[in-house]
Structure 1
C-alpha cells in the first residue's frame, strides 16, 4: 500500500513532501515501539510525538501536522487512537503493523555486483542518559546487517550511509553518530568471512 504512495516520487520529492514524510515516520516509530514495548502482541503502544519530533516541546505547526497525520492513518484503519489517563495512546492495527513492517524492511543495504574494497564504518558515542536509544540503534544496525566490530563500532562492506543516517535521525541521535569510509581494517579477514567476500 505505502509503496504505491512513493513509487512515482523521487527521493528529493519525498523529503520535501512533509505530509508523506511524517506519515512514514509515524508508522516506523509505531512499528519500532511495537517491537520494543510489546513484543508479544501485534500492536505496541508508543508516545509518537516524542519519537517523531524528538524531546523538544512541540510547536503549534508540528502539533497540527502530527494531528492531521494521525487522523489520516486512522481513516485508513492503520492505527487506533485511544484515550488512557487523559492521554492519547496510538497503536497499530494489524493491517497497519504489516504496512509499517514493509516500510521498515524497505531499508536494506543493496549489494553491488563488485565490492570496491572499502569498508563503511559506523561509530557512535551516545550518552548514558539515552541508553534506550543507544540499544535501539544497535538493534537496528544489526537488523540492517552491519557487523559489530567493537561495542560502539560497526562495519559493512557496502554503501549504507543513507540507511544509517535515516535510522539515526529517526531515533534523534544523529549528532552522536559518525560514518567513516576506510580502505582497510585491522583483522579484516574475519569481516571478509562474515560477508563472504
Structure 2
C-alpha cells in the first residue's frame, strides 16, 4: 500500500463513495478492499488502517454502516456527500480552450448575509479556478465554465444566488486579456 496520511485516505474513501454511491467493502474478506486503486493492503496493519478510516468516517457522521451476512456496506450520509464534494472542489479546474471563442463569462453572485460563509467560499473557489475578480461579486473568465459553476453553487447550497452571463463585449478587459494571455 502506498504511504498515505489519514486525511488522504479519508479523502479517497469519500470520493470513491461519492462516485459509487454504495460500496460493498467486506472488510472481513482480505481482498475485498482492493477495489480501492491505491488501497491494496499488503499486510494486516494496512488493512487495519483502512478499517480505522471507515470507523472514523462513521463516528464523524460521514458514512453509515450496515452489516449483512458478514459483509459491511458503507454509504455516504448527506454530511459525507458534502465533504466529498468539498474535496473535489480542491482539484477542479476550468479547462482553457486552444482557440478562444471571443466570449467572456461573467460570474456574478449575490449571496444573502445569513450565508456569508458560502459567499466567502464561492469567492475563494472562483479565484482558485482562475477567474479574475472584475468587481466585488463579479468574476470573469474567457472559458466556458457553467458545469464548474453549477458544481460550486451546489457545494455551497447557493446556486440560485449565482448568475453566469456570456458576453462578447465587456468594458475594460484589456488588462484581463493579458492575465489570460489572449493578446
Q: CA RMSD in A?
A: 3.4
1:1-197 matches, cutoff 5 A: 20=19, 75=51, 77=53, 80-81=56-57, 88=60, 103-197=88-182
Match of residue 12 from structure 1: none
Equivalenced residues, count: 123
Q: What is the deviation of 1:162? A: 0.5
Alpha-carbon offset, residue 192 of structure 1: 0.4
The answer to which structure has the higher helix fraction is: 1
TM score, norm. by length of structure 1: 0.53
Residues 1:165 and 1:79: Cα distance change in structure 2 (over 3 Å): farther
1:76: Cα distance to partner?
Answer: 8.3
TM-score normalised by L of structure 2: 0.56
Query: 2:94 and 2:107 mapped to 1: Cα distance?
Result: 14
Q: What secondary structure does 1:162 align onto?
A: helix
Q: Helix, strand or coil: the match of 2:139?
A: strand
Greater radius of gyration (CA): 2
SS in 1 for 2:53: coil
